[in-house]
Homo-oligomer: A and B are copies of this chain.
């Protein structure tokens, strides 16, 4: 439902093994406070829950008293892939999902990232078409409640800017910008 799971799984995946505080500082380095509704108290709950569900293995740390280390499982990697793909593919109303997906984009090979964003683009265009059609239907009425039409107008604007941005990102990825999962580290 929220982006927390995806972010936490993604952070643990980066390290292989991580504890709560490390996950937290990784999220800070992504600037996640600005765009994700993740308060630091929730991380520990999420870690425990993900462990309980079998996506992480938890062990009490040998180094620190009271610290818990989490290691991602094979099942966890699979779940991460699913969450990441859905976040990129589905144009949700919630921006935090997209932002989280974008932050973790480098975990995917380039062609897959492009394919998912093309799916997103198609869904956005479909949404835009439906919004415009609806706007047309609402065009006439002057009864009370008409001001709610403005919401649909807002969605139309938003759809346009989402489409433009997605197109641009796809182009930049196809042009070879950024460093994704399947590529060698070349300076």
Contacts and interface: CB of A to CB of B under 8 A. Distances in A.
Contacts of A103: 148, 151
A21 interface: no
A105 B148 CA distance: 9
Contact of A161 (B148, B161, B168): B161
Contacts of A160: 161
A168 B157 CA distance: 11
A35 interface: yes
Given A161-B160, A161-B161, A168 B148 contact: no
A148 B93 contact: no
Chain A: interface secondary structure? helix
A140 interface: no
The number of times this chain is found in the oligomer is 2
A62 interface: no
Given A154-B165, A157-B161, A161-B161, A147 B93 contact: no
B93 A151 contact: no
Nearest to A98: B154
Contact of A146 (B154, B158, B178): B178
Interface string A16-48: 000000000000011100010000000000000
A147 to B, nearest CB: 4
B99 A151 contact: yes
